[in-house]
Amino acid sequence: MQTLYDSETYSVTHMLANAQADGKPEVGSIKTAQYPGGVPMLPRHGFEIVDKRSGKEVYLDGSWAELFQQHIMAWQLKTPSQEEVEHTLEQYAELAQNPVRIH
């Protein structure tokens, strides 16, 4: 999990859903014995966008995450203004239905 953006209105976190801390299965586990090179799995990642004004969040995965990743790559090539970033996040935040909860 990595925070990519944090402002007064939005927070964006990149989530690696099936990543281990070091990328390897636990030593001595059944998975290690069965899959010495690591358990084969599809890479999964997503982005959590929190709209701090409304107290809601949206989790983007699949094709939505790929589309958002394209925005991030474009931002790396041409550094956007904070207003441009916030405008893009506002469009995604319209999808937010889940209230933010503290765990």
Tens of pLDDT, residue by residue over 28-80, are: 444 555 666 666 666 678 999 999 999 999 999 888 999 999 999 999 899 99
Domain range for 22 is 2-99
Let me know: does 73 contact 60? Beta carbons within 8 Å.
Answer: no
Let me know: does 83 contact 9? Beta carbons within 8 Å.
Answer: no
At 38 the pLDDT is 63
- Stretch 8-35: mean pLDDT, rounded? 65
At 1 the pLDDT is 82
How many Cβ atoms from other residues are within 10 Å of residue 57's Cβ?
Answer: 20
Residue with tokens 């474009």: 74
pTM above 0.95, yes or no: no
Q: For the chain, what is the domain count? A: 1
With 90 as the cut, is the pLDDT of residue 81 above it?
yes
Let me know: does 48 contact 89? Beta carbons within 8 Å.
Answer: no
- Give per-residue pLDDT as tens, 22-38: 445 444 444 555 666 66
- CA-nearest of 38, 43, 12 to 26 is 38
